[in-house]
Amino acid sequence: MKLIAKQIFISVFILIIFCFSYAFKRHIFPSEIVFYESILFSFLFMIFLTIFIKWFFKFGANQKFISSLYPSFLLLILFNSLVPTILDRSVSITVIGTLKESSHPLSEEEIRHKFNQVYVIDQNAVGVRLREQMANGNINKNENEEYDLTRKGDFTSDMLSVTTKFFNVNPAYIDQ
């Protein structure tokens, strides 16, 4: 039990170091696609950390620390999936921000209007997602500035549809 507590402490410590490192990186060199950036940064961070630990301990790294690296990496992936990615694109965050900035209670229609203004228009949500999906290889843009799905995009769409049905979540976004 004592070993598990130490490994949890080490994993949380690594997460804290990662959070500050990633925040620093985001302020200096932000990427447009936060999710991929965070996953890549996690991977590079763990490689750097492993090399640092091996060097610091003269290639006889402390086994407790080394055995905490894999769970730490999984913790970083979980963190990246839940925090920066959601903050970057969350509808709920925009709704909360709208209510916080208002000097009075708002109706659903007022919130919807503000959401469209901030999320869709000001932050160009559609344009950002189009560039993201082009970078993923899911869509193409033709010479007439029109978009269509690639074969990979068709496959992705089919998999998303199956997954929404499998987990019984709202399919309205994918099965239009």
Q: How many domains does the chain fold into?
A: 2
Q: Report the pLDDT value the prediction gives residue 143, as an integer from 0 to 100.
A: 96
126 neighbors 120 (Cβ within 8 angstroms): yes
pLDDT tens digits, one per residue of 46-69: 999 888 887 777 655 566 667 778
Q: What is the pLDDT averaged over residues 169-173?
A: 80
Residues 40 and 14 placed together within one structural domain of the fold:
yes
Q: Report the pLDDT value the prediction gives residue 69, as an integer from 0 to 100.
A: 81
Q: Report the pLDDT value the prediction gives residue 40, as an integer from 0 to 100.
A: 93
Last residue of a domain, one of 89, 118, 143: 89
Q: Which helix (H) or strand (E) holds 148?
A: strand 147-149
Alpha carbon distance 25, 35 (integer Å): 14
Residues 6 and 84 placed together within one structural domain of the fold:
yes
Residues 29 and 12 placed together within one structural domain of the fold:
yes
Residues 79 and 97 placed together within one structural domain of the fold:
no
pLDDT tens digits, one per residue of 85-109: 777 777 888 899 999 999 999 999 9
pLDDT tens digits, one per residue of 128-168: 999 999 999 999 999 999 999 999 999 999 998 998 888 78
Asked whether residue 82 is assigned to any structural domain, the reply reads: yes
- Are β-strands 139-141 and 147-149 bridged in parallel, bridged antiparallel, or unpaired? antiparallel
Residues 119 and 144 placed together within one structural domain of the fold:
yes
Per-position DSSP letters for 70-136, written without gaps between them: HHHHHHHHHHHHHTHHHHHH-HHHHHHHHHHH-SS---HHHHHHHHIIIIIIIT-HHHHHHHHHHHH
Q: Which helix (H) or strand (E) holds 65?
A: helix 63-67
Q: Given pLDDT bands bounded at 50, 70 and 90, which one contains residue 45?
A: very high
85 neighbors 25 (Cβ within 8 angstroms): no
Domain carrying residue 154: 91-166
Asked whether residue 98 is assigned to any structural domain, the reply reads: yes
Q: What is the pLDDT averaged over residues 118-125?
A: 92
pTM: 0.67
pLDDT above 70 coverage of the chain, percent: 93
The tokens describing 58, both together, are 């003269």
The tokens describing 35, both together, are 């999710």
Asked whether residue 7 is assigned to any structural domain, the reply reads: yes
CA 5 to chain centre: 28
